[in-house]
Chains A and B, each alone.
Chain A
């Protein structure tokens, strides 16, 4: 049982490059979300999805796109990377949107934009 799998674990991008952070879960969870974690700050919600074909913006969506074509996958796309997007990114899933019994998090992607 893999849980939530994120790839890659580390990535360095040049300003202006684009890339996709992958997230997959094998728990048949309807709710998936992307967070970024910056030093000294709480996790901030970027985008979330309550089911296949449904996505919505979170607190800090600018510069990111998502899609949810299947229940299992929820990729996060950086359109044109900026140094302000240097962060650790976590994908999370749960049975219910309210996170009853908590979210299951992936192990994170550490992104550096130079």
Chain B
């Protein structure tokens, strides 16, 4: 039968505001997490990573928070710009099983100029 495409969650933010994108991960044994950015028609790009022995990591305009208690990851983008419009998704990795990288479906971020 014909499959119906699923729609990604969408987040719309005003240019200059902060964005928060959330990800629930599935495996409590996952010990390494990565956020990727995927612009339309392109491959995913690494943004920032965090290991399970940390709860916060900051990069340039981005911060990742990890809450292992509830298996939740978030990506905060400060002063969102039009160039930030993309799909963002998290990946969880259990470093003892490299074939067990699990990618989330993603959130579509739309920046309103």
Residues of A within 8 A of B (CB): 4, 31, 35, 38-45, 48, 50, 56, 58, 90, 92, 96-108
Contacts and interface: CB of A to CB of B under 8 A. Distances in A.
Contacts of B98: 31, 48, 50, 96-99
Interface string B27-65: 000001010100001111110010000000000000000
B13 to A, nearest CB: 21
Nearest to B98: A97
Interface of B: 5-8, 32, 34, 36, 41-46, 49, 89, 91, 93, 95, 98-99, 101-106
B81 to A, nearest CB: 22
Contacts, number: 68
13 contacts: A42-B89, A42-B104, A45-B99, A48-B98, A56-B99, A99-B32, A99-B91, A99-B93, A100-B49, A105-B43, A107-B41, A107-B42, A108-B42
Contact of A40 (B8, B36, B91): B8
Contacts of B5: 38-40
B107 to A, nearest CB: 11
A100 B44 contact: no
B27 to A, nearest CB: 13
Residue in B6, B8, B42, B43 whose Cβ sees the most chain A Cβ within 10 Å: B43
A24 to B, nearest CB: 14
